[in-house]
Amino acid sequence: MAEERNRIRRIDTSNSDDEIRTGIRKSQNYHANFIEAIRVELEDEMAQVESRLNTWNKNRLLAHGVSLFQLKARSAGWMYGQRLLRLTLEGKGVLPSHRFKHGDIVLLSRSDPLGKDAIEAVVASRSRNSIRLAMGELPKGHRQGYWRLDRGANRIAHDRMRDALNSFLSDENSTELSTLLLGQVRDIQDAGETSHGIKGIRKNVSYDSNQLNEIQNNAVTNAMTHRLSLIQGPPGTGKTFTAVRILQGWVKNSSAPILAVAESNVAVDNILEGLLSLGINAVRLGQPFKVRESLRKATIDAKMENHRLRKDLDVILDLNEDLARKIPGMKGKDKGLAHRDLKRGWNDARRIEQQMKDDILDNAEVICATCIGSGHILLDGRRFPRVLIDEATQATEPATLIPIVRGCRQLVLVGDHKQLPPTVISTRAEEMGLNKSLFERLIELGVNSTMLVEQYRMHPCIAEFPSRQSYNGLLKNAVSKEMRLAPNGIIWPDFDNPVAFLPVEGGEVVSEDGHSRANPSEAGWVLQMLDSLLEGGDISTTDIGIISPYNGQVRAIHDLLESSGGMEKDGRWNGIEVRSVDGYQGREKEVIILSAVRSNPDGNVGFLDDSRRLNVALTRAKRGLIVIGDPKTLRNQRDWDFWLTWVEEKNLIGWHLLQM
């Protein structure tokens, strides 16, 4: 019977009403398309990994930064039940430039990452000299010999998206909301504004509206009552701030469990930080080493460490470990009885551990996780009638369904389809629509969104072009020029308008990995701008961000900083963040230096041909924006051409800076 309930509806529609028949056909097509898209995405990702590991030689793998060799391993203790393994070069020298970052899924092996003995692990942290991995158990003989490390593929995400798609269209989970999300209603806007119909909701519950502007208040009010709410938050308009206030209102007017998710760990942490600051009991799902260090106290693992049953669990674990050490020396009946007692002990430990987890989750007011993380077995059997998804435009639609199928009847999507779309590896999957978010599809279907328009981040001059180009000039400045004074250290073309374009021609090269692009000339100018800004004395290294659309340039700049003073705690450049445009989504800095990279006689802009990526890059800075690029090449892209024309009109070209 259970299997029958959860089957996808495949009904004979030959004698049915046309409207019903059309709806069922749409559902079946929806399911088939996305099932195939995520299969193709995983297939292409796996093929990419396997091809790389099978065909690339050691030098190419190192150049791409996707593998490390001749590593020594040492135990690095525990972190919330996970074993930590520290990898270094012999002699603990500086690791080669690489792309392993916090939270990455990796393969640890002696020599064959595709072999049966390869171990899947997660990067817990990295430094100049080492990488720490988290795993269930340390490999036997880990201190002997050498290890290699390779980037892996994420199969878990595929499995959870597939299961969510199957569940979303099952008879058991079919609701008014699922029909709405599929667009199978006569008036989609009216259907979205209909009451959620959740029982036990208190009406007219107050929330702290004094900290919200008028449109933010409207967004919160709609989210309290409507079945479906879309909130568009352009850069710096406080979309996460608004999302947290919605969650606060939900907590006040109901005891029903609430699920708050986002595509990335950074975005989830931002929500969590806001909830904790309001005194809300929020619990963070996910591996603690993927969570911001200051917020790890809110993870379920950390809460278990301080649970009232922790001592009982530790007593049982200590007794079991002591018994396990004695068993090899036992014989006959005593050995059999010891094995029985050991099994009972482990069963008791698991029972208490589950009791602790259930207790923590039962008492949580809001549970926070990534979209993929919300598919964790810990939440199986739990229903969440209210779901809020932040940065929803960065999540693929199947990923968005993972929290929705946990009983959602009231949904809030917060995002901005004018910023970065979901990241999709497979071109084939892109063509099947996997790179379009649920948020954007609903906008196209005619669902109205509430657009936040007051920006609190950028100097008015920095905000002027993005407002005009991406938001029809609707953005209003909640900060003044006086609140965002130009940083000292460089002579801005106009001190009242702290934007500077450095026209640097030439320098484009294929990066060392043979895949990306770099521009050593622009990297050199980045270094000079850094020097000048820091000499000004009113900003520090932690106030400066460096962005490039190309990972090759990110690595080139990173290597240049390492070689000219270092980025470690005692290094000259400690605190400066060098990231791709995608890595800066949702982030901000006092000053941003953007290196465009492309400079060629053919006018080939490649990866730069994306208005959303440019919008993100230009909107991260609060007080100063410096852009370095080749105007002749950049003018071959429509949005870059418009921006350069705007720069010329405002006399913001920094010719004089090139004479420094």
pLDDT of residue 16: 47
pLDDT for position 102 = 74
Residue type, 81: G
CB atoms within 10 A of CB 182: 16
The tokens of 122 are what?
Answer: 């997660």
Mean pLDDT, rounded, for 242-270: 92
Q: What is the mean pLDDT of residues 395-422?
A: 95
Q: Which residues contact 410 (CB under 8 A, 6 or more apart)?
A: 177, 196, 198, 226, 227, 228, 385, 386, 387
d(CA 520, CA 555): 11
**Residue 570: what pLDDT?**
84
| The most confident of 154-163, 186-195, 332-341, 417-426, by mean pLDDT | 417-426
Q: Is the pLDDT of residue 82 over 80?
A: no
Averaged confidence pLDDT in the chain = 88
Checking if the pLDDT of 7 tops 80, the result is no
CB proximity list for 488: less than 8 A, separation 6 or greater: 533, 536, 537, 538
pLDDT-based confidence at 353, cuts 50/70/90?
A: confident
Of 123-127, 379-383, 567-571, give the range with the top mean pLDDT: 379-383
**In this predicted structure, what is the pLDDT of residue 25?**
63
Task: Record the tokens describing residue 552, joined without a space.
Answer: 């090759």
pLDDT in tens, 70-81: 999 998 877 666
pTM, full prediction: 0.84
Bridge partners (DSSP) listed for residue 82: 79
**HEC-encoded secondary structure of 609-620:** CCHHHHHHHHCC
> Which tops the pLDDT comparison, 501 or 378?
501
Burial of 387 (0-12, 13-18, 19+ CB in 10 A): buried
Q: Is the pLDDT of residue 426 over 50?
A: yes
Model confidence band, residue 4 (pLDDT cutoffs 50, 70, 90): very low
- What is the secondary structure of 213-259 as a DSSP string? -HHHHHHHHHHHHBSEEEEE--TTS-HHHHHHHHHHHHHHH--S-EE
**Which residues lie closer than 8 Å to 451 by C-beta, 6 or more apart?**
215, 231, 232, 233, 234, 471, 474
Sign (positive or negative) of CA dihedral 287, 290, 293, 295 = negative
What pLDDT does residue 103 have?
A: 74
pLDDT tens readout for residues 17-72: 554 455 556 777 888 999 999 999 999 988 888 888 888 889 888 877 889 999 99
Q: What is the pLDDT of residue 18?
A: 54
pLDDT number for residue 200: 66
- CA-to-CA distance for 556 and 562, rounded, in angstroms? 10
Residue 361: CB atoms within 10 A of its CB come to 17
User: How many Cβ atoms from other residues are within 10 Å of residue 90's Cβ?
Assistant: 9
Structure token pair of residue 246: 């919605």
- The DSSP 8-state label assigned to residue 212 in this structure reads S
Decide if pLDDT at 1 tops 60.
Answer: no
Cβ atoms of 90 and 72 within 8 Å: the answer is: yes
pLDDT digits (tens, 9 = 90+) for 175-219: 678 888 888 777 787 777 787 777 767 665 556 667 899 999 999
**What does each C-alpha distance from 191 to 59, 386, 388, 443 come to in angstroms?**
58, 17, 18, 14
Q: What is the pLDDT of residues 95-113, one digit of tens each?
A: 887 888 777 889 999 989 9
- In this structure, the strands spanning 386-390 and 450-451 are unpaired
Spatial contact of 4 and 392, defined as CB atoms under 8 Å apart? no
134-175 residue pLDDT tens: 888 888 889 899 999 998 877 888 999 999 999 988 756 666
Confidence grade of residue 6 (pLDDT, cut at 50, 70, 90) = very low
Asked whether the predicted pLDDT for residue 241 surpasses 90, the reply is yes
